[in-house]
């Protein structure tokens, strides 16, 4: 395990200090459940605005686009919704939600955001928008102001409520990304990837592929379930609303079509369909690192392989390294053309980032983490 560094992602104990110092503020007290090993869950505010389209506020403050007396005169907002009692966000529509949390970042700290795992597995596209910024999900060092979340349900209508968390934010000091040489050294010392087989053997050096990140493959052989081998799920086009407050409540068959192993161990992905698939390898994230999937990797195909690909320290690792990896669940949406994939095909890339220090809390250790030893798993809203 490496020693603490002056550059990296801020861990749990550092995030807790940002709150009393006024770097993170909110009108409702920030709860301990929001603070993860390397991130902070952000909460939906009291309103949502149904937008005509997505936008980037590079030239004006967001609030100036929302505070209009008559939405019929707005070039952006169609209407507003009250979230305090819960409201339904329809699929295919764009919504903007002011979040409860605001930031006053010092000049030495920047931030990055991404959807939570459960959000991604429901095909809910979210990204942070900040004032006078030309990009999504990246918050510049020294930013002082409110946070807004763009929400686009893609496959299902969802019911949301004030205080719920759809995304999370990480705070970064300096350059955190680990080099390929560092990844190779880590894998030799304490393996980062294991085969998803009963013996759980680590990948050999020649199987361990890096190129500005770590490459993983797709699993299309799956596992036997009640006499049939399920390799993934495809979202149904017509279904009911999913209430995000209901855990273990919905029957998967009402929302998902199971995909079964093909005799050629291949799968044809249709454009703009949404799939849940799994990795061939099992991944580990040591306590002094965090990891993130690359949403688009041109070398692997013209498709999106995830929405919520952030892994906290300890994911697939455990408190003392006793867990031999966890499969990565992929949220896949092809674009433009059909795309044929085969079992064992290189499919996505993961980048590892150094932590500023080892977190006082690790993923899965007393945090009620939902996906620590997952296999091919839908979101927590569905019955097991």
Domain with residue 290: its CATH number is 2.70.40.10
Q: Kindly state whether residues 191 and 340 are assigned to the same domain.
A: yes
Ranking 75-79, 83-87, 140-144, 349-353 by mean pLDDT, the lowest is 75-79
172: left (phi over 0), alpha (psi -120 to 50) or beta: beta
The answer to whether residue 1 scores a pLDDT higher than 50 is no
pLDDT one-digit tens code per residue, 236-267: 999 999 999 999 999 999 999 999 998 889 99
What's the mean pLDDT when you consider all of the chain? 89
- N- to C-terminal Cα distance for the chain? 36
CA 373 to the chain's CA centroid = 17
Give yes or no for a contact between 188 and 182, defined as CB atoms under 8 angstroms apart: no
Q: Kindly state whether residues 347 and 209 are assigned to the same domain.
A: yes
pLDDT one-digit tens code per residue, 200-221: 899 999 999 999 999 999 999 9
Residue 381: inside a domain: no
Q: Which of 173, 201, 224 is the last residue of a domain?
A: 173
| CB-based contacts of 204, cutoff 8 Å, min separation 6 | none
Residue 377: inside a domain: no
Q: Given 3-state DSSP classes, what are the helix, strand and coil percentages for the chain, each rounded to the nearest 5?
A: 10, 40, 50
Question: Which band of pLDDT confidence, cut at 50, 70 and 90, is reported for residue 335?
Answer: confident
Q: Kindly state whether residues 217 and 318 are assigned to the same domain.
A: yes
* Number of helices followed by number of strands (H, E) in the chain: 4, 27
Q: Which domain holds residue 286?
A: 180-354
Most confident of 50-64, 219-233, 269-283: 269-283
Residue 139: inside a domain: yes
Q: Kindly state whether residues 243 and 267 are assigned to the same domain.
A: yes
The answer to whether residue 384 scores a pLDDT higher than 80 is no
Which residue is associated with the tokens 């496959």? 155
How far from 91 is each of 118, 148, 151, 381, CA to CA, in Å? 16, 19, 10, 17
How many structural domains is the chain composed of? 2
d(CA 273, CA 114): 21
Residue 50: inside a domain: yes
pLDDT one-digit tens code per residue, 336-374: 889 999 999 999 999 999 999 999 999 876 665 556 667
The answer to whether residue 42 scores a pLDDT higher than 60 is yes
Q: Kindly state whether residues 167 and 85 are assigned to the same domain.
A: yes
Residue 114: inside a domain: yes
Residue 314: inside a domain: yes
Residue 20: inside a domain: yes
Q: Kindly state whether residues 145 and 206 are assigned to the same domain.
A: no
Q: Kindly state whether residues 145 and 198 are assigned to the same domain.
A: no
Q: Kindly state whether residues 221 and 347 are assigned to the same domain.
A: yes
Percent of the residues in the chain that have a pLDDT greater than 90, as a whole number: 72
Q: Kindly state whether residues 186 and 159 are assigned to the same domain.
A: no
Q: Kindly state whether residues 278 and 130 are assigned to the same domain.
A: no
Q: Which of 173, 191, 210 is the last residue of a domain?
A: 173
Q: Which of 173, 199, 224 is the last residue of a domain?
A: 173
The DSSP output letter for 228 is E
3 state SS for 153-180: ECCCCEEECCCCCCEEEEEEECCCECCH
- pTM of the complete model: 0.91
Residue 359: inside a domain: no
Ranking 56-70, 124-138, 337-351 by mean pLDDT, the lowest is 56-70
Q: Kindly state whether residues 58 and 112 are assigned to the same domain.
A: yes
Q: Kindly state whether residues 115 and 234 are assigned to the same domain.
A: no
The answer to whether residue 301 scores a pLDDT higher than 70 is no
């Amino acid at each position: 395990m490496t020693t603490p560094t002056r550059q990296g992602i801020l861990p749990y104990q550092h995030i807790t200090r940002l709150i009393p110092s006024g770097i993170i503020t909110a009108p409702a007290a920030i709860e301990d459940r929001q603070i993860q090993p390397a991130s902070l869950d952000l909460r939906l505010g009291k309103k949502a605005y149904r937008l005509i389209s997505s936008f980037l506020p590079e030239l004006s403050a967001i609030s100036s686009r929302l505070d209009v007396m008559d939405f019929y005169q707005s070039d952006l907002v169609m209407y507003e919704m009250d979230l305090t009692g819960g409201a339904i966000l329809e699929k295919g529509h764009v919504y903007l939600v002011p979040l409860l949390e605001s930031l006053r970042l010092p000049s030495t700290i920047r931030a990055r955001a991404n959807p939570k795992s459960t959000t991604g597995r429901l095909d809910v596209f979210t990204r942070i928008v900040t004032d006078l910024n030309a990009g999504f999900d990246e918050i510049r060092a020294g930013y002082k102001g409110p946070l807004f979340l763009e929400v686009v349900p893609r496959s299902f209508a969802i019911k949301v409520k004030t205080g719920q968390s759809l995304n999370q934010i990480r705070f970064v000091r300096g350059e955190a990304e680990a080099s390929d040489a560092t990844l190779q050294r880590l894998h030799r010392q304490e393996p980062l990837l294991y085969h998803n087989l009963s013996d759980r053997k680590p990948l050999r050096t020649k199987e361990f592929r890096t190129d500005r990140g770590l490459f993983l493959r797709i699993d299309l052989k799956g596992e036997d379930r009640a006499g049939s081998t399920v390799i993934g799920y495809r979202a149904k086009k017509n279904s009911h609303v999913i209430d995000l407050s209901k855990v273990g409540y919905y029957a998967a068959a009402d929302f998902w079509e199971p995909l079964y192993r093909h005799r050629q161990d291949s799968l044809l992905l249709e454009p703009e369909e949404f799939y849940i698939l799994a990795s061939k390898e099992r991944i580990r994230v040591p306590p002094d690192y965090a990891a993130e999937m690359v949403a688009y990797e041109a070398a692997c195909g013209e498709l999106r392989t995830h929405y919520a690909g952030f892994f906290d320290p300890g994911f697939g690792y455990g408190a003392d390294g006793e867990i031999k990896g966890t499969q990565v669940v992929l949220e896949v949406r092809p674009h433009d053309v059909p795309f044929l994939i085969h079992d064992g095909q290189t499919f996505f890339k993961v980048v590892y980032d150094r932590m500023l220090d080892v977190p006082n809390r690790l993923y899965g250790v007393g945090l009620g983490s939902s996906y620590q030893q997952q296999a091919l798993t839908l979101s927590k809203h569905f019955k097991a």
